[in-house]
Structure 1
Amino acid sequence: MNRIRVSRRVEKKLAKGLVLLEASDLTDIELTDQAVEVLSQDGKFLGSAYLSQQNKGIGWFISKEKVRFNQAFFEILFRKAKEARKPYYQDDLTTAFRLFNQEGDGFGGLTVDLYGDYAVFSWYNSFVYQIRKLIINAFKEVFPEVLGAYEKIRFKGLDYESAYVYGEEAPDYFTVLENGVLYQVFMDDGLMTGIFLDQHEVRGSLVDGLAMGKSLLNMFSYTAAFSVAAAMGGASETTSVDLAKRSRELSEAHFQANGLSTDNHRFIVMDVFEYFKYAKRKGLTYDVIVLDPPSFARNKKQTFSVAKDYHKLISQSLGILNQGGIIIASTNAANVSRQKFTEQIDKGFAGRRYQILNQYGLPADFAYNKKDESSNYLKVISMKVSK
């Protein structure tokens, strides 16, 4: 196994519990796609890591011990992860959740999600992809009850995004439960599956009646999972807006799965900023507005970045929000701290007052590195706007 020496600065970073290795940490090292031993400048052993280019960073520090990334190593990690998720296995109202979450469960670059009887592996770099067979074999040992599995490729360089891996093949579409609500999912159609599992506590607040008797506008709605949760929690009507044409068909499927009539639930294929203008023109207003944009988006007219532009969503929402209404502001941008996100929200409110009802980060199944704020990437704040 190759050895790499790191600077005093990087040694201090690792001692603090920060485990993502970045390009600036290893400026003169050309190794990639391999396990390495990490040494201090004076040759002291610091731990085990691997190097591999991915969307964020160039590798992961894994352990302060000498470890080999073999099947036995992953079996230990998977057993710990399974034990930590006992409450989810015991919850009859939820059958979809995360089984293994990167550095939070001891190995950055890998996630595994459970959708009913099926697992989905996500590989975030080519090193993890290269050792995927031993990871999958370890998983089978620890999770024999999983009927079949799929994989998602979340790094550049391969000619496919999604594939069947082992066991029984899942139906093209099937339903999973979350908070007692049925959602239609699909395992082998690009990187998406029909639902973002990290939002299940926020959807839970809607199922529990946050929007009961209220009208809800769901922006960047994807498959309208927030809208279905709100409808099941007694919302009088919902409007779901997304630019993707396919979003309407996928959204309607969630409503049908729960036996909900779509008479009071609308699905609109339109750019969100265009819809704000349209709603204002038509005098449409709402009691609850959900804002969950992608971290970065570009269309023919403009680009949108959470870090710079989220305040525009807030200010536009205030123009069509009923008196005493609620805004649920959400982002999964790891590069935007909770403080920066709050600053964007305050900029959008421009002095108007609001009361925080609840704040959310990642739910318990999305284990994260408690010593690294960016590891807890999800930030959701639900706010009641003062009259």
Structure 2
Amino acid sequence: MKEIIIKNELSKKFKRSYPLISPTDLTEASQKPTNEWVKFVSQQKEFIGYGYLGHQNKGIGWMVSFDESQPINDNLLKQLFNEAFEKRQGLMNDPLTTAFRLFNGEGDGLGGIIIDWYDGYLVISWYNQVIYSFKEQLLTIIQNCFGEELLGVYEKVRFEGKGLAESSHLSGNQASEPLLIQENGVSYATYLNEGLMTGIFLDQREVRNQLIEGLAMGKTVLNTFSYTGAFSVASLIGGAEKTTSVDLAKRSLNKTREMFEVNGINASEQDIIVMDVFDYYKFALRKNLSFDVIILDPPSFSRNKKKTFSVAKNYNELVAEAVAILNKDGILIASSNAANVPLPKFEKLVEQGINESKRKFEKMALYQLPVDFAVNKNFKEGNYLKVMIYKIF
């Protein structure tokens, strides 16, 4: 097995079972990726762990085993997947929720691969070329964990791979289009082979459930960066008076209508607007529009002809302009999945935006990743989701 050398002064964190490998952790000669499982050692040849090297958006590799007697083989991989799937049995047996995360990368012991369950179908995401090179080995192990309940398998290639389709059907039956999944008893239209996204972000399940349970009951709701309108649907199921869904992408119009229709909601009675969110703020002010609940869930980074937005630099502006059209005693749901913005910084940005509007506020709740999005206790930055709910006076 090839040995990869970690600098002595940087080996301590790995002795605490830290899983992510960065370029600066390795000697220069050890930084080249290799399509094989490798052994990590110190410059004195002291064993550190087993894993692999593979460039992705965070780091250049992952530790998988810190036990020298347990190299990476089929037995270890079977154990990791079986343990992860067993932990999700409660969700697997819940008829009200038929889509969730089955395996969450490093949170379940193997960084670079994520598996989601969509009512009998697996959607496997590969995050780097090297983990993808183990595809056949991993697929065999994963599929052997299921019996007849597994209907089919799809994959998403989330790295730049020459000649690789970003989404493909791999085996078994093909899912209907749309595939209607259930989440807390609400239907959502998903498409398993339509680009990298399926139509719903599964990590927001608990927040949507708060809306289903009545957080917006009797209230008007503005859902910004609305994508397919999942938050709007949850709000209406929970008794919201009316929703306004705003997204710059033209596809959001038909996708949101479809989400309403599969739940028996008359889409014509809701406002679905294709517009830049900051432009909509200005439009709302001109038209004297205001809302009881505003949901902010922007991408980490976006750019259009007029503006560049990043959570790290501009979230406070987004909040300040939202609060300007939020009614007294209104509710602000501020969300971000930006991994480069830790929770304390995010909270500071949100509250800075509220303060800029000279409004008082009360923090009502904080949500991070739900239990199926397992987080490695030694890699807390893996808990990327931050959703803060405020009451604004």
Give the alignment's TM-score, normalised by structure 2.
0.96
Tell me which residue corresponds to 2:368: 361
Residue 70 of structure 1 and its aligned partner are, at CA, apart by: 3.8
Q: Which runs of 5+ in 2 are unaligned?
A: none
Deviation digits for residues 223-247 of structure 1 (CA, Å, limit 9, x no counterpart):
0100000010000100000111011
Q: State how 1:178-327 maps to structure 2 within 5 Å.
A: 178-327=183-332
Tell me which residue corresponds to 2:122: 119
Of 75, 85, 104, 1:101 maps to 104
Q: Is residue 81–residue 103 contact of structure 2 (8 Å, CA) maintained in 1?
A: yes
Q: Is residue 50–residue 59 contact of structure 1 (8 Å, CA) maintained in 2?
A: yes
Tell me which residue corresponds to 1:5: 5
Deviation digits for residues 247-306 of structure 1 (CA, Å, limit 9, x no counterpart):
111111111111111243111000111000001111110000000000000111111010
Q: Distance in 2 between matches of 1:8 and 1:216?
A: 54
Residue 367 of structure 1 and its aligned partner are, at CA, apart by: 0.2
CA root-mean-square deviation: 1.2
Of 56, 59, 62, 1:57 maps to 59
**Given the alignment of the two structures, is residue 72 of structure 1 paired with residue 79 of structure 2, yes or no?**
no
Q: Distance in 2 between matches of 1:90 and 1:52?
A: 35
Q: Distance in 1 between matches of 2:208 and 2:17?
A: 32
Letter in 1 for 2:33: T
Q: Distance in 2 between matches of 1:59 and 1:74?
A: 17
- SS of match in other structure, 2:110: coil
Moved more, 180-189 or 59-68: 59-68
- SS of match in other structure, 1:335: coil
Tell me which residue corresponds to 1:332: 337
Residue 379 of structure 1 and its aligned partner are, at CA, apart by: 0.4
Moved more, 32-41 or 76-85: 32-41
User: Between Structure 1 and Structure 2, how many residues are aligned?
Assistant: 386
Q: Which runs of 5+ in 1 are unaligned?
A: none
Residue 139 of structure 1 and its aligned partner are, at CA, apart by: 1.0
Tell me which residue corresponds to 1:157: 161
Tell me which residue corresponds to 1:382: 389
Q: Distance in 1 between matches of 2:339 and 2:250?
A: 28
Moved more, 28-37 or 44-53: 28-37
Q: Is residue 236–residue 264 contact of structure 1 (8 Å, CA) maintained in 2?
A: no
Residue 24 of structure 1 and its aligned partner are, at CA, apart by: 1.6
Deviation digits for residues 18-52 of structure 1 (CA, Å, limit 9, x no counterpart):
21111121250243033211112221111101001
- SS of match in other structure, 2:376: coil
Q: Distance in 1 between matches of 2:228 and 2:74?
A: 37
Q: Distance in 2 between matches of 1:371 and 1:340?
A: 20
Q: Distance in 2 between matches of 1:42 and 1:171?
A: 56
Deviation digits for residues 325-359 of structure 1 (CA, Å, limit 9, x no counterpart):
00000000111000010111121012532111110
Letter in 1 for 2:346: F
Tell me which residue corresponds to 1:352: 359
Of 23, 45, 65, 1:43 maps to 45
- SS of match in other structure, 2:373: coil
Residue 322 of structure 1 and its aligned partner are, at CA, apart by: 0.5
Q: Is residue 7–residue 27 contact of structure 2 (8 Å, CA) maintained in 1?
A: no
Q: Distance in 2 between matches of 1:114 and 1:180?
A: 16
Q: Distance in 1 between matches of 2:162 and 2:150?
A: 27
- SS of match in other structure, 2:11: helix
Q: 1:69 to 1:132 in 2, by over 3 A?
A: farther
Residue 68 of structure 1 and its aligned partner are, at CA, apart by: 4.4
- SS of match in other structure, 1:327: strand
Deviation digits for residues 46-89 of structure 1 (CA, Å, limit 9, x no counterpart):
11010011111100011112444443332211110111112212
Q: Distance in 1 between matches of 2:16 and 2:351?
A: 31
Residue 170 of structure 1 and its aligned partner are, at CA, apart by: 1.1
Moved more, 27-36 or 226-235: 27-36
Q: 1:143 to 1:158 in 2, by over 3 A?
A: farther
Q: Is residue 64–residue 72 contact of structure 2 (8 Å, CA) maintained in 1?
A: no
